[in-house]
Amino acid sequence: MNNMFYIVACAPSEEGGIYRYERRENGKLELLGFNRIENANWIEYSADRKHLYSTCTVGDSSGVAAFKLNADGSLAELNRMSAEGKAGCYVVADPSGKFLFCANYLSGSVSIFALNEDGSIRERLRNIQHVGDGPNKPRQDGPHTHFTNITPDGKYLIVIDLGIDAIRLYPFDPVKGVDEDKAITTHIAPGTGPRHLVFDRSGKIAYLIHELGNLVTSLAYSDGKFEVLNTVSTLPADFEGTTKAAAIRLSEDERFLFASNRGYDSIAVFELDGKGGIKPHDLVLTGGSSPRDINFLPGMKKFAAANEFSDTVFFFDYNAETGKLTPDGHVLTFKRPLAIYWKE
């Protein structure tokens, strides 16, 4: 499993699902397996690496699916369950393995599930429903939850809402679950549409990508509160077209940050100082249209971009010393590739 990774394709046809690949020493990419699943667009391991969870559809609703993760990385489906929401776009299990959370983009809610000891989904406990809107009416006509996770200190459930320009933290206890009545809200610049964030290893600094504002913001985090440190654009100063930001990734040594632009189909590379400082470093074209996700591959010497609208995954060599991405000549073809996933 050392060089194995997954690609998620969100196609309505039989091609849609989770693809399992291995990168050989000669650079060749070998397909190892495939699990058909309807409208998958995000996957995540359990903390103990024994299970994997995916978004999907169940009937007319968004849903979640649970898989047993075998020793060779293959997936054995355990079960699926409706999230009673619309357009599930992010899924994550808490570190204890007792709860599963799904962000439902169109319905502006987060579904909370209880998990069984074998990793299967026991029941949907409830949905937390957001309300409100934002100034960008075509995109912020209501709440649009886009990301959810547990804070590094284990105390809060994070929910990022693109529709209401907010990061909302709900107190979390691995026994009692989520307390939605004591939420802490960090308001983000109106109309910028926060999408995803990533923490550094210290758990004290996070980097937030704004889909609508085409921005990256560094945030100081402490006990349920975020403080803005710096904000930079993901675009050249002279860019005048239509584009929107998507994915954000941090290098292993935390010296470089990567953000994807859809429209101006590119990867913005930033140099970090470890204290929240962000400096534009490079801008690299993704070899396709609308890079919905970008990610490193196992070994951290390769990088990939999932170009949703050109149905391609484009691969790069990565130089850890300089932060440079260079096309390596490999391209895979899928219908609507949305996510590239692996974890050590």
Which runs of E-coded beta strand occur in 118-155? 121-129, 145-150
Give Cβ neighbours of residue 221 (< 8 Å, ≥ 6 apart). Answer: 151, 152, 199, 203, 204, 205, 206, 227
The one-digit pLDDT tens for each residue of the chain (344 residues) are: 679 999 999 987 789 999 999 998 887 899 999 999 999 999 999 999 999 999 999 999 999 999 999 999 999 999 999 999 999 999 999 999 999 999 999 999 999 999 999 999 999 999 999 999 999 999 999 999 999 999 999 999 999 999 999 999 999 999 999 999 999 999 999 999 999 999 999 999 999 999 999 999 999 999 999 999 999 999 999 999 999 999 999 999 999 999 999 999 999 999 999 999 999 999 999 999 999 999 999 999 999 999 999 999 999 999 999 999 999 999 999 899 999 999 87
Decide if 33 contacts 74 (C-beta within 8 A). yes
Nearest to 101 by CA among 140, 156, 138: 156
Three-state secondary structure call for residue 182:
helix
Pairing mode, strands 266-272 and 256-262: antiparallel
